[in-house]
């Protein structure tokens, strides 16, 4: 949990062979959260509760976590119910309707219903606007949980390279932001259902396609290049996603800017 002021937060990532101790100041954590909020929702409060006309579910919070409508088959990872549990664990009181709905699915069956339900949408927006720091910490904590799983899923002959690149990324606030953002943006890559024509686009897939021999000066650029290729392949396999191409690639530019 982020504490007021610029106290140091120490996060330990225990990987297969190495321990990476990353010190982030509260200011650096805030900068990560604000950049992700800008990436996903232009830094606007009204876009913390959003339903893209090209999607079948709402996207909520600074990370635009997916929440599928009740009764919908879960093809993709749903981050919002997990975020709700995290907020509750850290003392945030959720309204009764949200506490119940997080177990069954979003209470809106379509986009029109979502935007007509001003009362619940506004209540949810206020909660999300007041918990930006906790939402950022949620994403950082999630990365800490996922990285060992990603390492475990890597073949032994590639594990050393992948682990080294992860360590290089974690060594700087920019590299840390890069992985936190992409994990939130496109998932961990461990779900076999999240693929098209045998190709995955999550964090694991991006790390696997990064070259060896990188250093701190070029690792985020190499990550962005690998991620761009994965996302372009995804669009090639699903042309309807072309509408997202410009925004996706612009987001990757923040990894090297």
Give 238's DSSP letter: -
Integer-rounded Cα radius of gyration of the chain: 18
Section 8-12 average pLDDT: 35
Section 28-55 average pLDDT: 94
Residue-level pLDDT at 257 = 66
Residue-level pLDDT at 237 = 93
Q: What percent of the chain has pLDDT over 70?
A: 89
55-70 residue pLDDT tens? 899 999 999 999 999 9
Residue 4 has pLDDT above 70, yes or no: no
88-106 residue pLDDT tens? 999 999 999 999 999 899 9
Nearest-CA neighbor of 179 among 188, 217, 86? 188
What distance in Å separates the CA atoms of residue 166 and residue 169, rounded to the nearest whole number? Answer: 5
Global model pTM greater than 0.75: yes
Q: How many Cβ atoms are within 10 Å of 169's Cβ, its own excluded?
A: 27
H/E segment holding residue 36? helix 26-41
Task: Return the SS3 of 21.
Answer: strand
Whether residue 212 contacts residue 171, with contact meaning beta carbons closer than 8 Å, is answered with no
Task: Return the SS3 of 88.
Answer: helix
Residue-level pLDDT at 1 = 33
Q: Tell me the two tokens of residue 88.
A: 């509750």
Burial class (CB within 10 angstroms; exposed 0-12, middle 13-18, buried 19+) of 254: middle
197-248 residue pLDDT tens? 878 899 999 999 999 899 999 999 999 999 999 999 999 999 999 999 999 9
What distance in Å separates the CA atoms of residue 23 and residue 114, rounded to the nearest whole number? Answer: 40
Confidence of residue 129 (pLDDT cuts 50, 70, 90): very high
Confidence of residue 76 (pLDDT cuts 50, 70, 90): low
Give 203's DSSP letter: H
Detail the DSSP E strand segments found in the chain. 8-14, 19-25, 49-50, 59-60, 65-66, 195-196, 199-200
Residue-level pLDDT at 77 = 72
């Amino acid at each position: 949990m982020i504490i007021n002021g610029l106290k140091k937060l120490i996060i330990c990532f225990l990987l297969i062979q190495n321990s990476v101790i990353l010190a982030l100041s509260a200011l650096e954590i805030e900068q990560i959260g604000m950049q992700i909020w800008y990436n996903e929702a232009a830094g606007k409060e009204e876009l913390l509760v959003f339903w893209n006309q090209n999607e079948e579910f709402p996207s909520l919070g600074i990370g635009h976590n997916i929440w599928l409508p009740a009764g919908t088959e879960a093809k993709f990872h749903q981050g919002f119910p997990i975020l709700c549990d995290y907020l509750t664990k850290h003392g945030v009181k959720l309204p009764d309707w949200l506490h119940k709905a997080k177990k069954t699915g979003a209470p809106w069956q379509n986009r029109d219903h979502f935007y007509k339900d001003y009362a619940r949408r506004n209540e949810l927006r206020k909660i999300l606007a007041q918990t930006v720091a906790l939402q950022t910490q949620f994403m950082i904590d999630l990365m800490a949980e996922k990285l060992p799983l990603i390492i475990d899923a890597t073949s032994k002959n590639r594990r050393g390279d992948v682990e080294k690149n992860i360590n290089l990324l974690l060594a700087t606030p920019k590299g840390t932001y890069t992985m936190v953002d992409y994990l939130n943006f496109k998932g961990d890559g461990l779900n076999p259902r999240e693929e098209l024509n045998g190709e995955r686009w999550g964090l694991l897939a991006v790390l696997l396609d990064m070259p060896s021999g990188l250093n701190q000066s070029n690792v985020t650029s190499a990550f962005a290049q690998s991620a761009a290729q994965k996302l372009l392949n995804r669009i090639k396999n699903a042309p309807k996603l072309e509408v997202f191409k410009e925004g996706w690639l612009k987001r990757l530019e923040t990894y090297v800017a």
